[in-house]
Amino acid sequence: RVFTIALIRSDVCSSDLEGIYDRLDTFSKQVLGSEMSDDTAGIVLSGIAVEEDLNGRIRRNLMDTRRAVSFLMRVKLLNEQQNDEGRQILRDIDSLDGHTGFVFDKLNFLMDATVGFMNINQTRIIKIFSVASVAFLPPTLIASIYGMNFKWLPELEWRLGYPFAIALMITSAIAPFLYFRHRGW
């Protein structure tokens, strides 16, 4: 009876592992196949977490079954045929245990890749804000200088002082933009 339960457990674990592997193949295509949005990455991460939990449960069941069969063999309550069946079950469990390790490694790889793509997407956004802040720093500096309330600024007496300040701000905004564009940023 114990061996029947052990065989059923190993068969169930085997089919569950095959299902996990099939679903991981789908996740692999999503992660590695095209550019991934943060929404897709969130969905993939949720799916990977579910599969990781299932893989952990399978591993725990295999360990429990291994311990039970080993105990029965160790206390010598089994006849020779049952001992042979027990050894076969332990070999099957070892094989499945190796497969759960492989699935665990694949889960970790997919999780790391997904998080990596999310980091790349966030880096792109931060890069845009960084370039924009650097590009608008010079015009802000010029506007703050000409916005000061001093009695004496030489440009206040110029007839074209105001257009000069506006042109200087526009030029200082365009120059970094052209530089960043030339650099491919």
Distances (CA, A) of 127 to 47, 67, 131, 138, 182: 30, 54, 6, 18, 16
Q: In this structure, are residues 142 and 162 in contact, taking their beta carbons and an 8 Å threshold?
A: no
Is 0.85 surpassed by the pTM of this model? no
Residue 185 has pLDDT above 80, yes or no: no
Neighbours of 8 (CB within 10 A): 11
Alpha helices (H) in 75-160, listed in sequence order:
80-146
**Could you tell me how many residues make up the chain?**
185
The vertex-49 CA angle with 46 and 54, nearest 5°, equals 130
CA nearest to 114, candidates 42, 33, 34? 42
pLDDT in tens, 31-72: 887 777 888 888 888 999 988 998 888 888 888 888 888 888
CA–CA dist 50, 61 (Å, integer) = 17
pLDDT in tens, 108-150: 998 998 888 888 888 888 888 887 787 788 888 878 877 776 6
Average pLDDT over residues 90-112: 88
The pLDDT of residue 141: 82
